[in-house]
Amino acid sequence: MGDTVKLYIDGRWVGDDSNGKIAVINPATGQSLYDVYSAHKKNLRDAVKSAERAFKTWSIMPGQQRARILEQTAERLIERRDAIAIALTTEQGKPIGEAKGEVEAAIQSFKWAARQATASNKLSYSDGPDNYQQQTCIEPVGVVAGFSPWNFPAMLSARKIASALAAGCCIIIKPAEETPATAAALAEALHDAGLPAGVLSMVFGNPAEISEYLINAEAVRKVSLTGSSAVGKILARMAAETLTPCVLELGGHAPVLIFDDVDIDQTAKTLAIFKFRNAGQVCVSPSRFFVHAKIVDEFTEKFVKYTSELVVGDGIDVSTNVGPLAHERRVNDVGDLVEDAKNKGARCLLGGHKLNRAGYFYAPTVLTDVPANAELMQTEIFGPVAVLSTFDDIDDVLKRANDVPYGLASYLFTQNQSTIDYVRPRLDVGLVSINITTPILENVPFGGVKESGYGYEGGVIGLQSFQHFKLIHRG
């Protein structure tokens, strides 16, 4: 790709002096890596026109042919996965082991989508009147505008692209400018796998300008965003003007309910590792820990101990457990939330400050006694900060767990089946993870409630968000 990551439009890599450039920074050093071209209106117009043209043939291409391209894409990614993981860590910051896991998840998304591309596109009904037939034809919705974030640039871009293509749609995707080389590697693999020109375009640049243009384009029939709740509201308002349907997977503020019958040491260790994965920059990251009063002291001691043992550093170093935040804005935002909590009476048991080193590092932080009026109790933290509190009444802790604008993920640790049966339906979220922190896989639908968005990604239900159901009556 040279010194500047290019745009991928209509089967070609484009970008020249007419495009602006955005610097891509290594968050572990604060130093510039390379630039990425910024799309202008002609680029966006070309992307929409090429997608509209390509849809006429891609949408009716036999599923077996689409599946072969998706399978070949997975093979190209397998060949290049180590290089992609290094690029991911270098421009995003996460530890190299996590980056390799993310690239593997992207590969699995394409493999899974290939299997789904050959599924039947018709449903027949036999219980109607004898004198006519009823059938539903499952058809692609059209051109999709996709927006993926910087925290999982391989996995989340792959999930949108693979599902849209398997469904028969064309997609114009705008990944984050912070991590363009990782996303571009997906486009390169698809291109090398024989994807027809126009089926995929990948653009970078000004988020407001690109989203406004794409969402208002007449050819765009679906919007898919993974991002913050604030951005989701903006895009939803834009899409409402044309009644363009959206899938919005937005922010979270996940509660963790830890009851007194758990293995305290193992639970503390598991959660310390999981909480600070990707430096806490995960929409499903556990952030509000509610620990039963009978075990809160012992759990807190062990959680702080295991957190303090995490190695903070450049993600390329295999000994690193926690990498940098993605950019300086995140360091400042996390720092502001922690300072606000401390000013309102919170106790800092560990961390609570920016690290005095090059790059965008914030110390893994554990807070307790955080008052309800602290901003971080209602705002997605998206950083390496865990908030510990206690409970002794199950209904009270459920009320507190649900008392946020978000409803994406939650975690429950207990060995009591009655407790599980009582808590699970009362958590107002899209995911309840019980005694595990397993990542969400490509074959299951996932989505939030409240300000965490609407619609689903993943699984057959997620794929069907890129399709519509045409009812056929035949006499």
d(CA 94, CA 313): 10
Measured between alpha carbons, how far apart are the two ends of the chain, in Å? 57
Three-class SS of residue 139? strand
Going by their DSSP bridges, the two strands 453-454 and 246-249 should be labelled as: antiparallel
pLDDT value at residue 473: 84
Residue range(s) of every CATH 3.40.605.10 domain in the chain: 4-250+452-474
Which tokens go with 440?
């969400």
CATH class of 254-434: alpha beta
Three-class SS of residue 242? helix
> Which residue has tokens 């303090």?
308
pLDDT value at residue 82: 98
Q: Starting at the edge strand that comes first in sequence, how are the strands of the sheet with 347-350 ordered?
A: 347-350, 365-368, 385-391, 286-292, 254-258, 409-413, 431-434
- Under a CB-based contact definition with an 8 Å cutoff, are residues 252 and 283 in contact? yes
pLDDT value at residue 119: 85
Three-class SS of residue 361? coil
8-state DSSP, 193: T
Going by their DSSP bridges, the two strands 254-258 and 286-292 should be labelled as: parallel
Phi, psi of 446 (to 5 degrees): -140, 135
Closest CA to 294 of 249, 326, 338, 261: 261
Q: What does pTM read for this prediction?
A: 0.96
d(CA 433, CA 347): 28
Contact partners, residue 222, CB within 8 Å, separation at least 6: 141, 142, 143, 144, 145, 169, 244, 245, 246, 247, 465, 466
Active site residues: 249, 283
CA angle (267, 269, 273) in 5-degree steps: 115
- Beta bridge partners, 224, equal 146, 247
Three-class SS of residue 136? strand
> Which residue has tokens 């950019």?
327
Q: Which residues of 111-143 are buried (b: 16+ CB within 10 A; e: fewer)?
A: bbbbebbeeeeeeeeeeeeeeeeeeeebbbbbb
Ordered per-residue pLDDT tens for the chain, 475 residues: 458 999 999 999 999 989 999 999 999 999 999 999 999 999 999 999 999 999 999 999 999 999 999 999 999 999 999 999 999 999 999 999 999 999 999 999 999 999 999 987 767 666 666 677 888 899 999 999 999 999 999 999 999 999 999 999 999 999 999 999 999 999 999 999 999 999 999 999 999 999 999 999 999 999 999 999 999 999 999 999 999 999 999 999 999 999 999 999 999 999 999 999 999 999 999 999 999 999 999 999 999 999 999 999 999 999 999 999 999 999 999 999 999 999 999 999 999 999 999 999 999 999 999 999 999 999 999 999 999 999 999 999 999 999 999 999 999 999 999 999 999 999 999 999 999 997 778 899 999 999 999 999 999 999 999 999 999 888 7
Residue range(s) of every CATH 3.40.309.10 domain in the chain: 254-434
In this structure, the number of other CB atoms found within 10 A of the CB of residue 154 comes to: 30
**CATH architecture assigned to 4-250+452-474:** 3-Layer(aba) Sandwich (3.40)
d(CA 437, CA 433): 7
Which tokens go with 358?
């090059």
pLDDT value at residue 127: 66
d(CA 168, CA 139): 8
